[in-house]
A and B are shown apart, each in its own frame.
Chain A
Amino acid sequence: MVSASLRGRGLESLPLDEVKGRSLWADARRRFLRNKAAVAGLVLLVLIAVFSFTGEWIAAWSNEEIDFNVIGSAATMGMPSFENGHYFGTDDLGRDQFARTAQGTRVSLMVGLVGTFIAVVVGTIYGAVAGYVGGRTDQIMMRIVDILFAIPFMFVLILLLVMFGRSMVMIFIGIGLLSWLGMARIVRGQTISLKHKEYIEAARASGVPGWKIIFRHIVPNLLGIVAVYATLLVPDMIMTESFISFLGLGVQEPLTSLGALISEGSKAITQGAMWQLWFPFGFFVVTLYAFYFVGDGLRDALDPKDR
């Protein structure tokens, strides 16, 4: 940007590599990296992701293996110990909590990311089309969003899961399809403010078709706000999935998720098996925190209004 304006003033003779232009994204990255909480969140997230994908290799026991030494007396013998290889202890069935927690974290992260991806794709396209086309189409499309917003989402999601089977795919689709609404609203608002920018008008004047303007010129300029909102959507998704799994209506054994593990742990505490609650609880809380901090950092970095 700097070099361009300098050139505009007829200062081409300046050695250009000395005043290297910074792109918007580079600017954002610098601001993000200066935010300590956000960077810490990002580091934590990477660590958690690494744990969730490699934890089952590191674990001495597989997540489906049953340790017959502890089965039946998990509350007294299943506590975390390095000697028998159960770093996080075992559950009531003698299954290794370390491997189970890794698996559950991975499932929760996957649901969060895939659900967000669906919500982002659907919401962005819907919002961009509504905002760009405008007029009556926009009104009808946004009225539909209003109506859907008034529907008790969790109840409908459970309804869907019960009726069409409790599979991972259904959870992905259900969560993703029911949570694009907020995204659509935000994207629409942003699109309307972009629509009257000169470069869009230039594109329209030179005969670029509408869909091409949306995908070439509008969507790329929405990426910042979409990224911020998506990061904040992931913990919501993880929470939703965990909520359903807590009720026993989510992912099914042998698959597990943080919510399912917390549910099991919450029953085990009456027998004194605290570790069954604390490990999944810890991973849940830390993951959510990390996402919130990263989201906040991204917002500060990308949203020019709040600086």
Chain B
Amino acid sequence: MLSYIFKRLLVAIPTLLILIVASAILMHAAPGGPFTGERKLPAEVLANLNAKYGLDEPLWKQVLIYLKGLIFHFDFGVSFKYKDRTVNDILAQGFPVTLVYGFWSFVVATALGVLSGVIAAIKQNSWADYLVLSLAIAGAVLPGFVLAPVLVLVFTLKLGWLPGGGWEDGQWQYLVMPVIALSTAYIASIARIMRSSMLEVLTSNHIRTARAKGLPEWKVITRHALKPAMLPVMSYLGPAFVGMITGSVVVDQYFSTGGIGKSFVDSALNRDYSVMLGITILVGALTIFFNLLVDILYAWIDPKIRY
């Protein structure tokens, strides 16, 4: 097991490094710097600005300085637009917010998805099964950015139950709609995956044995069927996590929750490269770490994995 984790780490770390170096190079190689705007700056001012932010150094040196700061001081550099804020400040402000509603969306998606998938599989071809299946199909075409305005329309404008946006330190009223918008598509996918894998597991020999020895059905499900049936869901959790982080951009934009998604879009519109780069790297690192976690969990559940 330890050697397996080590082997996975051996892949994860270079991946992260490649991501950092590639996006840093990309950033510096892009036509037009962060200071090319509507108003053309005089050449001397531009030169001064470039010197201040170290943009006059050769490319390899800039990347090296950036890497050094990042690895040894966890320093993402300074924002090109806000003179008094570092990228670390911006990340520290937005990231906890994203983490809170991201966590809840993830929990809700996994719990509801697995639960409804299991119910659909046990009661195959019943009304419950058809309900889950049709909801799963509906969820597949409702990404957050399509669902969010509809939610606001219903819950804020028509019913007046929930506030249409804001964060307020994550009180539950402000959390409900972002979580629904983010998790619906994944509830649908997880339910569909869970249903089909559960159906497959239920026809396998060890389940027949468990039933034959007279175990009550719920025990057969929880004790013997659930774990192997979870495996395909497990491997979907990585992509689902990435999708939710991506979706947070829309949530921040539409519900004004103020997470890193908001900072990302703002920096994209302002060409604030260092903030964009910082967020991309942070999200990339998170993705890689999460995939690693899922792989390890998978290996732990499935004894057939060789490590």
CB of B291 within 8 A of CB of A150, answer: yes
CB of A150 within 8 A of CB of B287, answer: yes
CB of A162 within 8 A of CB of B268, answer: yes
On chain A, the residues within 8 Å of B46 by CB distance are none
CB of B269 within 8 A of CB of A248, answer: yes
Q: Does B173 contact A (CB under 8 A)?
A: no
Interface residues on A, range: 35 or more
CB of A159 within 8 A of CB of B26, answer: yes
CB of B246 within 8 A of CB of A277, answer: no
On chain B, the residues within 8 Å of A284 by CB distance are 141, 146
CB of B146 within 8 A of CB of A262, answer: yes
Chain B positions 127-152 with a Cβ under 8 Å from a chain A Cβ? 137, 140-143, 145-146, 148-150, 152
On chain B, the residues within 8 Å of A162 by CB distance are 268, 271, 276
Q: Does A152 contact B (CB under 8 A)?
A: yes
CB of A270 within 8 A of CB of B31, answer: no
- CA A242 to CA B245, docked complex, whole Å: 17
Q: Which of A151, A249, A269, A292 contacts B152 (CB 8 A)?
A: A269
Chain A positions 248-300 with a Cβ under 8 Å from a chain B Cβ? 248-249, 259, 262-263, 265-266, 269-270, 274, 277, 281, 284-285, 288-289, 292
CB of B30 within 8 A of CB of A152, answer: no
CB distance from B269 to the nearest CB of A (A): 7
- CA A274 to CA B158, docked complex, whole Å: 12
Question: Which chain B residue has the least Cβ–Cβ distance from A247?
Answer: B265
Q: Does B47 contact A (CB under 8 A)?
A: no
Question: Which chain B residue has the least Cβ–Cβ distance from A270?
Answer: B157
CB of B268 within 8 A of CB of A249, answer: yes
Mark interface residues in B235-248 (1 if CB within 8 Å of A CB, else 0): 00000001001100
Q: Does A147 contact B (CB under 8 A)?
A: yes
CB of B149 within 8 A of CB of A265, answer: yes
Question: Which chain A residue has the least Cβ–Cβ distance from B28?
Answer: A163
Mark interface residues in A120-164 (1 if CB within 8 Å of B CB, else 0): 000000000000000000000001001100111111101111111
On chain A, the residues within 8 Å of B140 by CB distance are 288, 292
- CA A289 to CA B140, docked complex, whole Å: 8
On chain A, the residues within 8 Å of B26 by CB distance are 159-160, 163
Q: Does A174 contact B (CB under 8 A)?
A: no
CB of B146 within 8 A of CB of A154, answer: no
- CA A259 to CA B153, docked complex, whole Å: 18
CB of B149 within 8 A of CB of A266, answer: yes
On chain A, the residues within 8 Å of B189 by CB distance are none
Q: Which of A164, A248, A281, A288 contacts B31 (CB 8 A)?
A: A164
Q: Does B163 contact A (CB under 8 A)?
A: no
Q: Does A55 contact B (CB under 8 A)?
A: no
Q: Which of B14, B18, B153, B246 contacts A155 (CB 8 A)?
A: B246
Q: Does A243 contact B (CB under 8 A)?
A: yes
Q: Knowing A243-B250, A259-B145 are in contact, say whether A150-B268 is a contact too (CB < 8 A).
A: no
Count B interface residues, CB 8 Å. Answer: 47
CB of A156 within 8 A of CB of B276, answer: no
Mark interface residues in B4-27 (1 if CB within 8 Å of A CB, else 0): 000000011011001100010011
Q: Knowing A163-B27, A262-B149, A265-B149 are in contact, say whether A154-B15 is a contact too (CB < 8 A).
A: no
Interface of A is mostly: helix
- CA A284 to CA B141, docked complex, whole Å: 8
CB distance from B296 to the nearest CB of A (A): 15
Question: Which chain B residue has the least Cβ–Cβ distance from A239?
Answer: B143
Q: Does B94 contact A (CB under 8 A)?
A: no
Question: Which chain B residue has the least Cβ–Cβ distance from A163?
Answer: B30
Chain B CB count within 10 A is highest, among A158, A242, A259, A270, for A158
CB distance from B79 to the nearest CB of A (A): 15
CB of B153 within 8 A of CB of A147, answer: no
On chain B, the residues within 8 Å of A235 by CB distance are 141
CB of B153 within 8 A of CB of A152, answer: no
Chain B positions 239-267 with a Cβ under 8 Å from a chain A Cβ? 242, 245-246, 249-250, 253-254, 264-265
Question: Which chain A residue has the least Cβ–Cβ distance from B12?
Answer: A150
- CA A235 to CA B185, docked complex, whole Å: 14
On chain A, the residues within 8 Å of B12 by CB distance are 150
On chain B, the residues within 8 Å of A160 by CB distance are 26
* Cβ contacts A to B, 17 pairs, < 8 Å: A146-B11, A150-B15, A151-B19, A152-B280, A154-B249, A155-B264, A156-B280, A159-B276, A159-B280, A242-B145, A243-B246, A266-B149, A269-B157, A281-B146, A281-B150, A284-B141, A288-B141
Other than the known A147-B14, A248-B265, what 7 A-B pairs have Cβ atoms closer than 8 Å? A153-B246, A163-B273, A243-B145, A243-B246, A249-B269, A266-B152, A285-B141
Closest 3 CB pairs of A and B: A266-B149, A163-B30, A288-B141
